[in-house]
Amino acid sequence: MSGNTLPRPSRPSIAPPSGPLPSLPVAKTRNSTAGPASRVPSSSFLPSAAASNRAVSSSPAYRPSPKHNTSPSVPTLANVSPAGSLPVGKSLRKTVSIGAFPQPPRHMARSNPASPLSTSSTPSGETVNQRMSSAPKVSLHSRDSSLKKPRTSNIGGARGLLPKSPLAPTSFLNGSVDSVAVDTSHLSLPSPPQSRNSSPQGSYATSATTFEDIDDESRGRSETKNSSSKDGKGNVIVSVRVRPDVGAKDSKQEMEWGVDNKRALVSYRGREGGDYVYDNVFDTQDNNARVYDAAAKRLVRRVMEGYHGTVFAYGMTGTGKTFSMQGTATNPGVIPLAITDIFSYIRETPYREFLLRVSYLEIYNEKINDLLAGPVMSANGQPGQQEEIKLREDSKRGVYATPLKEEIVQSPTQLLRVIARGDNARRVAGTQFNAHSSRSHAVVQIVVESRERAPGPVGDTNHNKRSAVVPGGVRVSTLSLIDLAGSEKAADEKVRRTEGAHINKSLLTLGTVIGRLASDKEKAEKNKGKGDTHLPYRDSKLTRLLQPALSGNSLVSILCTIQIGASGSTAAASNHTGETLNTLKFASRAKNNIVSHAKKADESMGTGGDAGSRALLDRYRLEIQELKKQLEGGKAKETKEEYGDELQRDREEERARELEDRQRHHEQILEMQLARTALKERIEHLNRLILSSKSLGVNNSPSFSSLSFHRGSVFSNTGDMRPSSIRSCASHATLEVPRTSHSHHSSAPHGLDGSEEDDSVGENGDGSASQGAQIHALQADLADRNRYITTLEKRLLQARRSSHSRVSMSIRDKLGSSEDGGLLATIAERDAEISSLRAQLEDKERMIAALTSARKKNENAHDVGSDGSPGSRRTSMYRRSNSEGSSIRASGVSLVAKGPTSPTSPKPFLPPPSNNTGKNIEEMTRMLDEMITGRVDRARRSSLMPVSEGR
Ligand SMILES: Nc1ncnc2c1ncn2[C@@H]1O[C@H](COP(=O)(O)OP(=O)(O)OP(=O)(O)O)[C@@H](O)[C@H]1O
């Protein structure tokens, strides 16, 4: 079995012995197993987190009746919930809620409250002297038989157990100087006549020690030998507790011992005998509550007030160290009673706020283990190695272990549960002397942080205390509760021997350090200013950890446990006696040598002061302030952000609107482009139509048109007037047909002389028919173009309206109202143009009408002149035509006749040569075409203008 896998047998409930006690080794109900051992909480007062269920099932839960006043507010198994609810490894970052603390008895004074454990009762509810209930009957018998003094019992409680006599040793730490002494009995075993009052080494009697502010009266036993209270600085309590040993009642060894708890005296009448006086001596009938009240209660209170305090149990294996520190369900030990007291104190101190954190470590084989860290798993899921914990030292914290898990606790139950969890992890094994022996030194550290808060308004019970914290400093103090492993003789097993060697070595170092403290003091006196004398604190982890306490920074209470008498064999008896004497000597040295100058811890401000930066209350306060700032900042930011959001929303909406507008514009542009394309196509189509029309009779293309025109030119031969080209009705401009000079036909150089035209007309001999055809074609062309113009107008109007309505809407905001005027002006301009176009159209229609009537007249003249020369008819026609032409000109259309200038001359009567006529018509057509195209383009551009501007 390796040293690291010690068996941890279960530890069933240890009820106070009710029958004859067995001889040593005490038949503890704990089982020793070969595997890793753990203390089973069912036996301990401290409930195990992990095994609380087992505890409940294996032993009756401890449910104190209301009359059970030993520890009325101590949580029990019944009210300690399984630790499963507390996630391992997670610290609660909350301050202590005062309301959650157990209520102490009402009669307790705040400054020096009586212990809530001052009375005791059985679980059945009967209030009795707990000493009676826990002490073995045989002891009582022994006591009675030896002392023959009646025991006067103060049913009131443990305080009644304190001596009444002024000489009676009163624990000044308890402060119960007004205690009523009721029990004057003490165990006084006959001693040999030669026994001395002091040991050969001198007196081991200890003196009472005092805290700085303890009144003189409480230094009850300071008159005893080697009083260290003379210097007024001793803050060390040394107590000795005798474990009952039922099996040794009649042994010779027992007869050699005398235990006087009244005088706090242990006397030995054997070899090296003497009287050993301490601050407290607890006999076999004293229960844990009494031990706590006398040895630790006051210290715990002082810790709450700001002192550092250390309580440790020292003694041979199996003498009751764990029993005293942890206790049982029915007999809670120092640790649970201290926890109860801590929370009672907090509840009684409304003008301060507290924060508690707890750590739990063990020193096993000179290695420090964190008992709260839980099992460590390696990457492959196998149990891994805990990070090595080292001891460090700094000026503010002294010596401390790191990294060590600390848990913040808010209630006694929670604190007990944390400690129970640590207990389960502690190394325990069965030994020759103790079936459930602690194989390590266990250190519970409770760090108490406190800070003053402002008193609430008078009568205001609901005053919010949390908001009334005085901006003062935080005080940090530490309570260390240490259960040492017991010194022991060599064990049979190798592992036990190794453990024992480490245990003994560290205890030896402890003894050495304490032994040297006296000489250290003397040397220090002698060598003032010459530097410190060396103390071997570093020789063991235990002494290193205890260094602050041993060197005077802490209040100290040492509980030494002994067992007098031996169970059975003489060897065992002599062994026990030797060990017991060693323990007594250790206790005396500790009492004489340890000097405590413990002072109240300074209140730290922020990171300064005694507590330094480790004060969580400070850190939390700063954190709270920081969070509040952030909250307020967040609120302001939220407001800003809200405003910003609104702006952002507006901007986004605007952007969306713009995007929408753009899309709409884009659509409009597309529409317009489509419209344009459609218009272009239409124009092309119409142009094609026009070309087709030309080819049918207007143009003089060499093919059909020229032929037809030639045919048409026959009318010149018939003297018919040559019609001016009236091509296209889409022209907006004044139709002024320019005089064209023989552009197409070099074969017609005469221009207006019309010789060739005459020829051509003459050739065809069908000038009127040709003219009619031309006019007809022109009319058709004109009608076509009229339709086209109308369509264009409509389209343009439509496009302009839609463009105007859409674009003006979208760009109104952007361009401002001044643009409206521009648009309106543009629209008015377009309207004017359209009107002009209409007017021109009307002119053209009139021109066509004039041409038509001229043709008719011409035809009539031709008919009239059938008996005359056609030329005369032609002439008259021409003249009329000329006059018609004048009228047309007057009406705005400039039709310049290209015919003969002299009506008398035959030539003038001749119609213009057919070539010229075709040319003129063609030119006119082309001009009209150009004009129409130009107009259409202009109109189109102007209608599109606002869109492009809008873009
Ligand atoms: N005052 C006492 N009254 C009744 N029983 C006691 C008392 N002291 C010790 N015992 C019993 O003696 C046995 C040994 O006690 P305990 O385990 O506390 O010894 P220890 O000093 O812690 O030993 P170790 O150093 O080996 O751990 C336990 O069964 C315990 O219940």
pLDDT digit string, tens, across residues 896-934: 333 433 343 344 444 444 455 555 556 666 776 676 667
Name residue, tokens 């839960």.
Answer: 61
Mutate to test the pocket of ligand 1, among 314, 323, 564 (most ligand atoms within 8 A of CB): 323
Most confident of 383-397, 522-536, 617-631: 383-397
Task: Give yes or no for residue 345 having a pLDDT over 60.
Answer: yes
Mean pLDDT computed over 138-164: 32
User: What band does 149 get if pLDDT is binned at 50, 70 and 90?
Assistant: very low
- As a whole number of angstroms, the distance between CA 911 and CA 714 comes to 9
pTM equals: 0.49
Q: Which residues of 546-576 are buried (b: 16+ CB within 10 A; e: fewer)?
A: bbbbbbbbbbbbbbbbbbbbbbeeeebbebb
319 in a known ligand binding site: yes
- As a whole number of angstroms, the distance between CA 300 and CA 292 comes to 10
247 in a known ligand binding site: no
pLDDT at 575: 67
Judge whether 345 lies within some domain. Answer: yes
Q: Quote the ligand 1 centre to 37 CA distance (angstroms).
A: 17
**Residue 904, H or E segment:** none
pLDDT at 333: 95
Are residues 395 and 302 located together in one domain of the fold?
yes
Burial class (CB in 10 A: 0-12, 13-18, 19+), 175: buried
Question: Which tops the pLDDT comparison, 494 or 503?
Answer: 503
Most confident of 201-205, 431-435, 698-702, 859-863: 431-435
- Tens of pLDDT, residue by residue over 430-455, are 777 777 788 889 999 999 988 887 66
The residue out of 661, 684, 707 marking a domain boundary is 684
Are residues 584 and 627 located together in one domain of the fold?
no
pLDDT at 844: 78
* Residue percentage of the chain with pLDDT more than 90: 13
Question: Which tops the pLDDT comparison, 340 or 807?
Answer: 340
- As a whole number of angstroms, the distance between CA 327 and CA 420 comes to 12
Q: Quote the ligand 1 centre to 323 CA distance (angstroms).
A: 5
- As a whole number of angstroms, the distance between CA 105 and CA 341 comes to 12
202 in a known ligand binding site: no
* Helix runs in 457-569, H state only: 494-526, 541-548
pLDDT at 282: 93
Q: Quote the ligand 1 centre to 322 CA distance (angstroms).
A: 6
Are residues 260 and 371 located together in one domain of the fold?
yes
Are residues 554 and 630 located together in one domain of the fold?
no
Nearest alpha-carbon partner for 926 in 790, 706, 738, 792: 738
Are residues 302 and 254 located together in one domain of the fold?
yes
- As a whole number of angstroms, the distance between CA 273 and CA 197 comes to 8
Identify the weakest region by mean pLDDT among 38-47, 142-151, 643-652, 740-749: 142-151
Q: Quote the ligand 1 centre to 488 CA distance (angstroms).
A: 14
* Helix runs in 357-493, H state only: 412-425
User: What band does 637 get if pLDDT is binned at 50, 70 and 90?
Assistant: low
User: What band does 344 get if pLDDT is binned at 50, 70 and 90?
Assistant: very high
Mutate to test the pocket of ligand 1, among 26, 362, 440 (most ligand atoms within 8 A of CB): 26
Q: Which atom of ligand 1 is nearest to the CA of 30?
A: 29
Terminal CA-to-CA distance of the chain, rounded, Å? Answer: 92
Identify the weakest region by mean pLDDT among 139-148, 279-288, 467-476, 649-658: 139-148
Question: Which tops the pLDDT comparison, 289 or 643?
Answer: 289
Question: Which tops the pLDDT comparison, 55 or 813?
Answer: 813
Provide the CB-side half-sphere exposure for 945 (13 A, CA). 16
The residue out of 684, 715, 732 marking a domain boundary is 684
Among protein residues, the one with the nearest Cα to ligand 1's atom 14 is 318
Distances (CA, A) of 523 to 52, 407, 588: 53, 42, 20
Query: What's the chain's length in residues?
Result: 951
Mutate to test the pocket of ligand 1, among 246, 322, 482 (most ligand atoms within 8 A of CB): 322
List all residues whose CB is within 6 A of at least one atom of ligand 1.
14, 17, 26, 28, 243-244, 315, 317-323, 434, 436-438, 485-486, 561
- As a whole number of angstroms, the distance between CA 508 and CA 503 comes to 8
Judge whether 343 lies within some domain. Answer: yes
Task: Give yes or no for residue 811 having a pLDDT over 90.
Answer: no
Q: Quote the ligand 1 centre to 434 CA distance (angstroms).
A: 8
Q: Which two tokens stand for residue 397?
A: 């914290």
Mutate to test the pocket of ligand 1, among 31, 131, 243 (most ligand atoms within 8 A of CB): 243
Mean pLDDT computed over 726-755: 37
Q: Quote the ligand 1 centre to 437 CA distance (angstroms).
A: 9
Are residues 512 and 619 located together in one domain of the fold?
no
Per the prediction, the chain carries an average pLDDT of 62
Most confident of 62-66, 688-692, 730-734: 688-692
Mean pLDDT computed over 768-785: 69
Q: Which atom of ligand 1 is nearest to the CA of 561?
A: 21
Are residues 570 and 628 located together in one domain of the fold?
no
560: β partners: 240, 314
pLDDT at 698: 40
Report the number of distinct structural domains present in the chain. 2
Q: Which atom of ligand 1 is nearest to the CA of 486?
A: 25
Q: Which two tokens stand for residue 166?
A: 């002024």
Among protein residues, the one with the nearest Cα to ligand 1's atom 29 is 28
- As a whole number of angstroms, the distance between CA 596 and CA 232 comes to 10
Mean pLDDT computed over 790-805: 71
The SS3 call for residue 190 is coil
pLDDT at 846: 81
Q: Which atom of ligand 1 is nearest to the CA of 27?
A: 29
The SS3 call for residue 560 is strand
- Tens of pLDDT, residue by residue over 23-53, are 333 333 333 333 334 443 333 444 433 333 3
Task: Give yes or no for residue 297 having a pLDDT over 90.
Answer: yes
712 in a known ligand binding site: no
- Tens of pLDDT, residue by residue over 691-706, are 444 444 444 444 333 3
Contact call for residues 542 and 525 (beta carbons, < 8 A)? no
Provide the CB-side half-sphere exposure for 104 (13 A, CA). 26
pLDDT at 870: 42
Question: Which tops the pLDDT comparison, 647 or 626?
Answer: 647
Q: Which atom of ligand 1 is nearest to the CA of 286?
A: 1
Task: Give yes or no for residue 482 having a pLDDT over 90.
Answer: yes
- As a whole number of angstroms, the distance between CA 893 and CA 876 comes to 22
Task: Give yes or no for residue 874 having a pLDDT over 70.
Answer: no
Judge whether 517 lies within some domain. Answer: yes
Judge whether 100 lies within some domain. Answer: no
Question: Which tops the pLDDT comparison, 339 or 438?
Answer: 339
pLDDT at 269: 84
Please state the φ and ψ torsions of residue 449, each to the nearest 5 degrees: -110, 135
pLDDT at 917: 52
Displacement of CA 780 from its chain's centroid (Å): 88
Judge whether 600 lies within some domain. Answer: no
Are residues 587 and 622 located together in one domain of the fold?
no
Task: Give yes or no for residue 459 having a pLDDT over 70.
Answer: no
pLDDT at 662: 84
Are residues 360 and 493 located together in one domain of the fold?
yes
Judge whether 366 lies within some domain. Answer: yes
Question: Which tops the pLDDT comparison, 549 or 924?
Answer: 549
- Tens of pLDDT, residue by residue over 350-388, are 888 899 999 999 998 889 999 998 777 777 777 777 788
122 in a known ligand binding site: no
- As a whole number of angstroms, the distance between CA 43 and CA 14 comes to 6
Mean pLDDT computed over 514-527: 67
> Given phi > 0 = left and psi -120 to 50 = alpha, else beta, which region is 394?
beta
Nearest alpha-carbon partner for 70 in 152, 13, 132, 127: 127
Distances (CA, A) of 616 to 624, 625, 929: 11, 14, 99
Task: Give yes or no for residue 104 having a pLDDT over 80.
Answer: no
Among protein residues, the one with the nearest Cα to ligand 1's atom 26 is 437
Mean pLDDT computed over 636-648: 75
Kindly calculate the radius of gyration of the chain based on its CA atoms and give it in whole angstroms.
63
pLDDT at 377: 73
Q: Quote the ligand 1 centre to 117 CA distance (angstroms).
A: 21
Q: Which two tokens stand for residue 884?
A: 């018609």
Mind giving me the DSSP string for 259-321? EETTTTEEEE-STT-EEEE-SEEE-TT--HHHHHHHHTHHHHHHHHHT--EEEEEEEBTTSSH
- As a whole number of angstroms, the distance between CA 695 and CA 691 comes to 6
- As a whole number of angstroms, the distance between CA 648 and CA 898 comes to 76
Contact call for residues 886 and 724 (beta carbons, < 8 A)? no
Judge whether 209 lies within some domain. Answer: no
Task: Give yes or no for residue 826 having a pLDDT over 60.
Answer: yes
- Amino acid 839 reads A
**Residue 475, H or E segment:** strand 469-483
Nearest alpha-carbon partner for 32 in 575, 364, 566, 492: 492
Nearest alpha-carbon partner for 261 in 316, 322, 182: 182
Q: Quote the ligand 1 centre to 541 CA distance (angstroms).
A: 24
Question: Which tops the pLDDT comparison, 756 or 690?
Answer: 690
Mean pLDDT computed over 221-228: 38
Dihedral sign, CA of 568, 574, 575, 580?
Answer: positive
Nearest alpha-carbon partner for 727 in 685, 699, 766: 699
- As a whole number of angstroms, the distance between CA 599 and CA 478 comes to 12
Task: Give yes or no for residue 118 having a pLDDT over 50.
Answer: no
Mean pLDDT computed over 793-816: 64
pLDDT at 848: 77
Mean pLDDT computed over 170-175: 36
Among protein residues, the one with the nearest Cα to ligand 1's atom 23 is 318
Are residues 280 and 410 located together in one domain of the fold?
yes
pLDDT at 413: 93
Name residue, tokens 């209040």.
Answer: 555
Most confident of 134-138, 414-418, 487-491: 414-418
Q: What is the DSSP letter of 899?
A: S
Among protein residues, the one with the nearest Cα to ligand 1's atom 28 is 28
- Going by their DSSP bridges, the two strands 352-364 and 469-483 should be labelled as unpaired
Q: Quote the ligand 1 centre to 430 CA distance (angstroms).
A: 13
- As a whole number of angstroms, the distance between CA 391 and CA 404 comes to 10
Q: Which atom of ligand 1 is nearest to the CA of 16?
A: 4
Name residue, tokens 């006119």.
Answer: 924
Mean pLDDT computed over 404-417: 92
498 in a known ligand binding site: no
Name residue, tokens 């007809």.
Answer: 776
Among protein residues, the one with the nearest Cα to ligand 1's atom 6 is 320
Mean pLDDT computed over 542-567: 85
Among protein residues, the one with the nearest Cα to ligand 1's atom 4 is 16
Are residues 559 and 499 located together in one domain of the fold?
yes
Among protein residues, the one with the nearest Cα to ligand 1's atom 2 is 243
Among protein residues, the one with the nearest Cα to ligand 1's atom 16 is 320
Q: Quote the ligand 1 centre to 67 CA distance (angstroms).
A: 27
User: What band does 59 get if pLDDT is binned at 50, 70 and 90?
Assistant: very low
Are residues 635 and 569 located together in one domain of the fold?
no
pLDDT at 499: 83
Q: Quote the ligand 1 centre to 358 CA distance (angstroms).
A: 25
816 in a known ligand binding site: no
Q: Which atom of ligand 1 is nearest to the CA of 328?
A: 31
Q: Quote the ligand 1 centre to 319 CA distance (angstroms).
A: 5
Judge whether 415 lies within some domain. Answer: yes
Distances (CA, A) of 272 to 183, 319, 370, 694: 30, 21, 42, 156
The SS3 call for residue 732 is coil
Among protein residues, the one with the nearest Cα to ligand 1's atom 12 is 320
Instruction: Tell me how many degrees the CA angle 799-804-810 measures, rounded to the nearest 5.
Output: 125
Mean pLDDT computed over 539-563: 89
Task: Give yes or no for residue 628 having a pLDDT over 50.
Answer: yes
The residue out of 684, 712, 738 marking a domain boundary is 684
Dihedral sign, CA of 345, 346, 349, 354?
Answer: positive
- As a whole number of angstroms, the distance between CA 510 and CA 516 comes to 10
Task: Give yes or no for residue 502 having a pLDDT over 60.
Answer: yes
Residue 671: domain span: 615-684
* Residue percentage of the chain with pLDDT more than 70: 45
Distances (CA, A) of 591 to 205, 228, 359, 443, 730: 8, 8, 28, 21, 132
Distances (CA, A) of 276 to 191, 197, 280, 551, 573: 14, 8, 11, 24, 20
318 in a known ligand binding site: yes
Q: What CATH number does residue 426 fall under? A: 3.40.850.10
Most confident of 133-137, 486-490, 606-610: 486-490
Task: Give yes or no for residue 70 having a pLDDT over 90.
Answer: no
